[in-house]
Structure 1
Amino acid sequence: MNRRRLLGLVALAALVALSGCSVLGPGEPDAEALGKDVTYNWSTDANATIDINDTRYEAVYRVENRSSIELYDRDALGTESPLDIEGLKFQFENGTVRNLTADDVELSRKRMTVSFPAENVSGRVAFSSPRNGKSFALPTFVSGSYEVTLPKDARVGVPILAQVSPGGYDATLRNDRVTLTWSDVDRRALSIRWYLERDLWLFGGLVVLALLLGGGGAIYYLRQIRELEQRREEVGLDVDTGDDVGDDGPPPGMR
C-alpha cells in the first residue's frame, strides 16, 4: 500500500468518525446515568408531559400496548442521534414504578431503543435530559395531547421575541411559569423559543432609545437646513431677480 492510499484511508476514517458513523459503533448505555434518582410528575392527563428547567428537562410519555419506544434527537440538518437521557423509569397502570437499566436500552448510531418491562404493556415511561439556552426542540415520540411547562420567567407572548411550533396551543401562567398545551400534536417535532421578562424590558428600552435617537437626529437635520437657508439669505444667494422692474431685455444689437 503506497503512502497516498494510506493517507486517503486515514482521512476517510477521520471523516467517518467525525460524522458519528465510526465502525466502533455508538458505544454502551451509561448505566450510572440511567439509574439516577429523578422525581417525576406521574399524575398528568396528557399523552406527553415535559417540564423544562434552566439546565435540564423531565419528560413523561403515556404508552399503550407497546413493547418499546425509540428516543433520539435531531439537529438543524435533520441528522438523528441517540438521546442523552438520565433517570429512566417506567410506571405501570396500577401505579407501580420500575427503574429501567442499561439492560433495557439498546443503542444504534441514530437512535436509542428502550424496551419496556413487558410485551404490549400500557403505562408511562419517563426520563430526564440536559439542556441549555432559551429554546427547546424535541421529536414527538408519541401522538396525542402535549403539555410543556417553560422555565421560570420564560414568556412567549411577543412574536418578534418568541416562536412556538406547532401553533394552535393554549398558554396558561401559574407560579410565574407558562404552560403550553396542545390537544393533539400531528407534527414530527416540537420547537419552542422564548424570552425572559427582563428581555422584554430590555427590548422596550432599546426601542425607546432608538426612537429618541431617531427623533433627535431629525431635529438636528432640520436645524442644519434652516441655518443653511439663513446663511444663503445673508450672502444674497437667495435674491430672486426674475421679476425685476424695468427689465427691457438684452441691449440693442442683441435683440
Structure 2
Amino acid sequence: MTVSRRLLLAVVVVALLALSAGCLAYVTGGGEVDDETLDREPAEPYEFDVDRDGYLVVTTEANYRAVYNVTNREEVRLHRETGYGTEEPIDMRAFRVQYADGEIVNGSTFRAHGGEVEQTTDEIWVRFPDDREADSLAFTASSTPKRFVAKVPVEGAVEVVLPPDRRMDFFLFGNVAPRGYETEIRGDRQHVVWDDFTGETVIVQFYLQRDLWIFAGGLAIAAVIAVVGLYHYRRRIEELTRRRKEMGLDVEEEIDEYEDDDDPPPGLR
C-alpha cells in the first residue's frame, strides 16, 4: 500500500469515528446535566448584587463564573462554538437561581419548583417555573487559558473580570471583541465593561503582566546581541582591510585606477 493510500485510509477512519461519535451524541441527546453536577458549590460565592445584566469572572484555573439577569425571561439558551464551526452545550456546573424575593436555590431545588435544565447536542435550555419569578441565573463553566470566549445570552451592561495580574492592553498579546468597551483596574484585576452590549459573543484575549516584561527583556537581549554582532563584524572588516593594506592589496586604489582609466579593463583590451 502506497503512502498516499495509507493517508487516505487514515482520513476515512477519522471521519467515520467523528461521524459515529456525532450520531451517538444525537441519539443520546448529548447527555444529561445531573443534579449532583448542578448542586456543586462554586469556588467562590456568586456576585448576585452587581448592577450588570451579565457579570463574568474569569479564574486562573481556566474557568469562569457567570451571573445573568433573567428578569422577565421564560428560558435561556446556553451554548458555545466548537473548533469545527458547530455548536455544543457548555459544561455547566454549580448552577444557582435567585428568585425575585431573594431566595437562592440550587439545581435540584430549581427542578423541584418546576424549573427545567434540558441538555441537547447543541445547547442547554434553562426554563423557569411559571409560578416563581426568577431574577438571576448563575453557573460555572470552563474557559481556556489566556483567551476567554463566551456566548452571552443577555443584552445591556456586561462586565468581564480578568484573573489577577492579567491585562489585555498590549496589542500584540491582547484583544477584545466586540468594540465599544471600557476598562478599569480594581486591585490586581482588570475589568472590561460594555455599557450597551448587543452582540452574542464576548472575546477577551489577555496575558500575564510578567509576560510583557519577559517579552521586553527578550527584545533587549536581542538588541544587545545585534549590537555586539555588528561591532564584531565591523572589527573583522577593519582587520581584513588593514591586512590587505599591509600586503599592498589596496582595493580602493585599484578601483580608483580603473575609474580614471578610459581603457577597458585588463582582459578586454
TM (norm. structure 1) is 0.84
1:30 aligns to what? 34
For each residue in 1:150-179, what CA deviation from the matched residue of structure 2 results, as whole angstroms up to 9, or x when unmatched?
111111121112111112221111121111
Of the two, which has the highest radius of gyration?
A: 1
1:70 deviates by 0.7
- Counterparts of 1:117 and 1:25, CA distance in 2: 23
1:54 aligns to what? 60
- Counterparts of 1:219 and 1:187, CA distance in 2: 55
Bigger strand share: 1
Residue of structure 1 aligned with 2:85, choices 78, 82, 90: 78
8 A Cα contact 1:66 1:119, kept in partner: no
Q: What does residue range 125-164 of structure 1 map to in structure 2 within 5 Å? A: 125-164=137-176
Residue of structure 1 aligned with 2:178, choices 154, 159, 166: 166
8 A Cα contact 2:166 2:208, kept in partner: yes
- Counterparts of 1:16 and 1:109, CA distance in 2: 14
For each residue in 1:227-250, what CA deviation from the matched residue of structure 2 results, as whole angstroms up to 9, or x when unmatched?
12112211112173666xxx9x9x
- Counterparts of 2:15 and 2:234, CA distance in 1: 66
2:226 aligns to what? 214
Distance 1:120 1:36, change over 3 A: closer
- Counterparts of 1:134 and 1:68, CA distance in 2: 31
- Counterparts of 2:192 and 2:230, CA distance in 1: 44
2:21 aligns to what? 18
8 A Cα contact 2:183 2:193, kept in partner: yes
- Counterparts of 1:153 and 1:85, CA distance in 2: 26
1:132 deviates by 4.2
For each residue in 1:61-101, what CA deviation from the matched residue of structure 2 results, as whole angstroms up to 9, or x when unmatched?
01232111010111233221111111211112232222233
Say which SS state the counterpart of residue 130 (structure 2) adopts: coil
8 A Cα contact 2:97 2:134, kept in partner: no
The more displaced of 69-78 and 40-49 is: 69-78
Question: Which sections of structure 2, spanning at least 5 residues, go unmatched?
Answer: 1-12, 264-269
- Counterparts of 1:84 and 1:153, CA distance in 2: 26
Bigger helix share: 2
1:216 deviates by 1.1
1:190 deviates by 0.7
Residue 112 (1) aligns with residue 116 (2) = no
Say which SS state the counterpart of residue 232 (structure 1) adopts: helix
Distance 1:45 1:157, change over 3 A: same
| Count of aligned pairs between the two proteins | 237
TM (norm. structure 2) is 0.79
1:30 deviates by 2.4
Q: Percent identity?
A: 32
Residue of structure 1 aligned with 2:102, choices 95, 98, 103: 95
The more displaced of 158-167 and 42-51 is: 158-167
- Counterparts of 2:229 and 2:161, CA distance in 1: 45
1:13 deviates by 6.1
- Counterparts of 1:12 and 1:73, CA distance in 2: 22
Distance 1:198 1:153, change over 3 A: same
Say which SS state the counterpart of residue 157 (structure 1) adopts: coil
The more displaced of 39-48 and 117-126 is: 117-126
- Counterparts of 1:109 and 1:97, CA distance in 2: 28
